[in-house]
Amino acid sequence: MKLILLDVLFIILLASTTFCQEDVKTYDCEYYSMSYSLLNNKLGGEFIEYYKDGTKSVQGKYLDNQRIGDWSFWDASGNLVLKRKYVNNFVFEQLYPQLQLDESLKLLDGCKYSPEKNEQDYYSYRHIRENSVLYSKKVICNVLATENLEWFPNGEFLQVLKDNKASDDFLVFAIFESYKSGLMQIDDFDNLKLIAFKFTEEYVFDRDVQMMESRIIFICPVFKNTTTGEVSDQNWFYFPKLVPYFAKMKTQLTNDDFAISNLSDIFFFQNFSKQICGEYQLTSDYLGLIDIETDFYKDAASNTNKYQDENFRILFEIIHVENKLIISNYSRL
């Protein structure tokens, strides 16, 4: 009898271990390759980047799209140039090299920015000096309710829109045309269900803080009429104006390391499953952006692979550039 019980316990443990295993994948391109893991469609677990010749360039771990724990960086000759201990993408301690730096090099000596909440319980984007930006990329992203059920709002967000329909905070912008603002284009809130958010964001590598930061600029709720099946996605709001409202929406998705307690925290730390659908550049004579077709949302569950290749191409290019800039800056010491 004892042997049978032990066998049953072993099977249960084996099954639970298998269930918790990371989904290890590889990504290859002409100039670099990566080994990474996804947990709940977010970067989580061991991450390794390799140079073109197969030698290791970066190794560390992710949790919910955030760098955590020890990360090591090597130059192309295999020399360790930097080791950091991350709390999250913003906060880290430099473990190696331990140098007595003069004033001209002190900007490379560890974390220079630790985000703090204001009195209204949300993080504000900090000011970035224009001449400290070494890289930037603008993208459009998609966040589905079906992949983020543990925090996705619906009735509460609809009520906020109803209560603030005439507020200047909820002006909508024609971002695919001329960025002119106008009133919210929702006349009837009945039978609407929030099924997704799409947003534009910019990734910026700031030399002053030696890190890549992502910032949401405009956000668009995607609604589906539960009676007619019609999809509505024409209301683009300026995201920083909505952050104080998101901060009042508490969430069950808590994370002590990232100080997450409300929806604004989730957006700030990018603690969600998202899909990068494309990139864009703005010039003085071109304001048209790519957009995600409304038809995509009519059967989003079946269309999730539509932007998958583009998502990973852009995501890993951004990660690669951040790693490359960190290594190049410290290789000069």
The tens-digit pLDDT sequence of the chain (333 residues) is 444 433 433 333 344 433 345 578 999 999 999 999 999 899 999 999 999 999 999 999 999 999 999 999 999 999 999 999 999 999 999 999 986 555 555 555 566 788 999 999 999 999 999 999 999 999 999 999 999 998 999 899 999 999 999 999 999 999 887 888 999 989 889 999 999 999 999 999 999 999 999 999 999 999 999 999 999 998 999 999 999 999 999 987 666 666 789 999 999 999 999 999 999 877 655 566 788 988 999 888 788 888 999 999 999 999 999 999 999 988 866
State the pTM of this model: 0.89
Query: What pLDDT is attached to residue 14?
Result: 40
Beta strand segments in the chain, E = 23-28, 32-39, 42-43, 45-51, 56-63, 66-74, 80-86, 92-96, 133-144, 172-173, 181-182, 192-206, 211-225, 231-232, 237-238, 250-255, 260-262, 275-280
Query: What pLDDT is attached to residue 83?
Result: 97
Query: What pLDDT is attached to residue 286?
Result: 57
* Tokens 């508490």 belong to residue: 250
Contact 152, 194 (CB under 8 A): yes
Q: What are phi and psi of 129, to 5 degrees?
A: -70, 135
Question: What is the domain partition of the chain in residue ranges?
Answer: 22-331
Q: Bridge-partner residues for 283, per DSSP?
A: 286
Query: What pLDDT is attached to residue 110?
Result: 61
Q: What share of the chain is helix, strand, coil (3-state, %, to 5)?
A: 25, 35, 35
CA 184 to chain centroid: 27
